Structure 1
Amino acid sequence: MRAISTVVDATVALLLIGGAVATLTAGPGAVADPSPRDHADEQARIVATSTAGVDYALAPDRSAEGVVVEVDDAPLRRTARGTLASLLARAAVANATVEGERLLPARRGYERAATGLVRNRTGGPSVRTAVRATWEPYRGAPLSGSVRAGPRPPADAYVAAAALTVSSGVPAAEADARRAAESDGFDGVARAVSDAVVRGLFPPDETRLALRGDAPVDALAARRYRRTARLFGAGEPGVGERNATETNARLAASLADRFERDLRARYGSPDAAARNASTGRVRIVVRTWSP
């Protein structure tokens, strides 16, 4: 089985909401425990610091991708290791969608493995836990990804929550976006964010190796480029030329056009748009309640 390192930094910053765990009332008629035990911070620390590994296989949707492979093919097997938070953050990026369509359908196996692991490692007989990870290149972006591990809390439950942030594995565009806002306005912010997103989804060196690799990995990499180009409106990429740098530039340009239109409609100024850039971060919210 081939092992690969996670694309996310395992170092996380635990940011308890409001400086402490926030207790939220949910639904009329709920009766609070007179001395409720707050487990959210404890569960968040478990997510932030516990390390583990997950085994999975790339398993594309054959009808959507047109790639005939067997799920148990050795070249498609993978192992990812890291903190629970980093594994979940990677799953959020892998689950990114554009207009409801997944960019990376072959990563469904990883998403299931990561969320199942987090679900099994959190909660217990005296507490229920739900963990949600969300990645947005900027707040409200038309391209984003999220995953959830654990059940939804009952409508009448009193819920405690804690939040933490973890690296997404996508290059951080925040500093570049702020500089671009001053010189090139919304267009500059959109380019900075889209460049970071495409570099994160298609690291040039790794992608070039995949395209030149053995079957079925090369076919999956090429199909992934074509699918992303279609969803970004970039036309047919020249993946046959194995030119990852040129193809990435085309993808980033098309995504920048979409981001610029959305940023202009969503934010009052380029500076406000730049301040909301968050390509390099995934936000994870841990919620707990008594069963």
Structure 2
Amino acid sequence: MRLVLLLALTLLLSACHSALEQRNGYWVDTAHPAQGARPRIRVVVLHYTAEDFPASLATLTDREVSAHYLIPRQPPQQAGEAVIWQLVPESQLAWHAGPSFWRGATRLNDTSVGIEIVNQGYRRTLTGLQWQPFTAAQQQVLTMLLRDIIRRYGIAPENIVGHSDIAPQRKQDPGPLFPWQQLAQQGIGAWPDAATVQRYLAGQAADQPVSPERLLATLQRYGYDAATARTPESQRKLIAAFQMHFRPQDYRGLADAETLAIARALLARYGEAQ
């Protein structure tokens, strides 16, 4: 019996010889991948640095904070192509998300790639916040980087997010000038279908007030951490984070009909958080 088992094992190894991988003093048979496996990386989190490039590089290579990639405002060229900085291998964890939540998951550092984009964020003026635009060169190389990451890990569109999406009580980056819609037009990230938004609006004025509780429940279904937003101010911050991503022309954090219609259109297109 033992001889039969050894023979069967030998035949199996011979049949799968092309799947054998030699390592340091042993061999591994890779012919039987488990169906329950999935990539560790499921989310991409986009940030602005709020500092110039030298300060950003110093901060992100110190002990307290890190990110996988850093994109300067005007990336230098090498053989006609942009150069960006990889500070942490994708296989390793970077400290960029902090306390976070997205679509039922916490500890987003464990399952994400963090991309920092050099941008000063905002400055306060007499007429309100003035945000710094992202450069065309940044947008171009970011598009290529995101395409590569999505291809490598099969990341769903709804899992391309901003720091403010996963930590709306603490963060505002990448801010209302980040080109989410332009990226979505190139197949990167989520964006609501305009016709579906209009169908859910059903002739209501965009600024028609709606129940904050109803809007927050819809945002929770899509993936935001609305369950812990219990005060009016925390609810406003969460709604504003959603609006900065999906309706940046008005991100005051008011619960209105257009915001609810956008959230419902996203659910119709991408489904509920599991």
Give the TM-score, by structure 2 length: 0.27
- Bigger radius of gyration: 2
Structure richer in helix, relative to its length: 1
Structure richer in strand, relative to its length: 1
